[in-house]
Amino acid sequence: MLAHGADEPAPLGSIFKLYVLLAVADAVEGGDLDWGTVLTVSPQNRSLPSGELQDAPDGTQVTVIEAATKMIEISDNTATDVLIQAVGRQAVEDAVVQAGHHDPALMWPFVSTRELFQIGWGDPAYLEIWQNGNQDEQYALLEQLEHQSISPHDIAVGGDPLWPQGVDWYASARDIASVHVALQQHDDATVREILSQNPGVNQDAWDYVGYKGGSSLGVLTGSWYLEDADGEGYVVVIQANTDEPAGISTKSHAQFFQLASSAIELTYDPRPAGISQD
């Protein structure tokens, strides 16, 4: 194993959606949900981009598998929040523990994407409570936000990175590797198919690739679960962040994915493994 800073918690961006997928897989395995269960887009689960479902009218129906696929393949925020609503916040927090997160309290309360937008770029009073309130006050804030709709006209995402102020999800590279392994241990063909929709790497060198990346202001992350022809599994995780107002530059994005490409090549195949930035 090659590692540098693998135990240091860092902001995740959309990689947190792996924990949501794990909670969904647990619910399916336990019989509380089915991959074909129909869910409904509503003002209580509508979020902001990225994605497509934020533009769908109220009452739009999607199945669990459709929402989960959108969540991983195109990082659809509304699909994510539809799933969080379906399984419940507690189930996702339980999944964080189940996956072996080194300090689950870093992820509590587990916020939806719409809640994150509301806290970070909505009423400044929300950010004040989030930063300075105790956990009970934070949960109370989330209950309050549940009854408020959200739209791009109300919230303009921008400015300085807010992850240093607690507005993100946090885990170490080792934590991310652990949730990838937990998902594979479900031995659910549907989970594996969902994770492989956007492999983010030249798949020719591997029998299987599961991928989830993430980005937000000042945050860039990538994670791959790879299997070779012998069924041997490898996990590659790279996290980058800055608190600089300019965020992460286009040049740094390119360097990040080149580093990821080199790390993946080192695990198995000497041939170039072209990395996708999607």
Per-residue pLDDT of 149-193, as tens digits, reads 898 778 888 889 999 999 999 999 999 999 999 999 998 999 999
Residue type for position 207: D
What is the residue type of 154? D
Query: Is the C-alpha dihedral spanning 7, 11, 14, 19 positive or negative?
Result: positive
When the candidates are 3.40.50.720, 3.20.20.70, 3.40.710.10, 3.40.50.10490, the CATH number that belongs to 170-267 is 3.40.710.10
Q: What is the pLDDT of residue 269?
A: 54
Q: What torsion do the CA atoms of 20, 26, 32, 38 make, to the nearest 10 degrees?
A: 40
Question: Where do the CATH 3.40.710.10 domains begin and end in the chain?
Answer: 15-159, 170-267
pLDDT in tens, 71-120: 999 999 999 999 999 999 999 999 999 999 999 999 999 999 999 999 99
Tokens of 110: 């587990």
Strand order in the sheet with 233-241: 208-216, 219-227, 233-241
**Sign of torsion, CA 179 181 184 186?**
negative
Assigned CATH for 15-159: 3.40.710.10
SS3 168: coil
3-state secondary structure of 208: strand
- Average of pLDDT values for 256-272? 71
pLDDT tens-place string over residues 131-146:
999 999 999 999 999 9
Residue with tokens 């549940």: 146
Q: Let me know: does 199 contact 33? Beta carbons within 8 Å.
A: no
Strand partners, 233: 227
- 41-78: pLDDT as tens digits: 999 999 999 999 999 999 999 999 999 999 999 999 99
Q: Distance between the two ends of the chain, CA-based, in angstroms?
A: 26
Token couple for 232: 């041997």
Rounded CA gap, 188 and 194, in Å? 10
Predicted confidence at residue 199, as pLDDT, reads 82
- The larger pLDDT score, comparing residue 4 to residue 102, is at 102
Q: Burial, 3: exposed, middle or buried (Cβ in 10 Å; 0-12, 13-18, 19+)?
A: exposed
Q: What is the largest CA-CA distance in the chain?
A: 54
With a CB cutoff of 8 Å and minimum separation 6, the contacts of 76 are 50, 51, 52, 53, 54, 67, 70
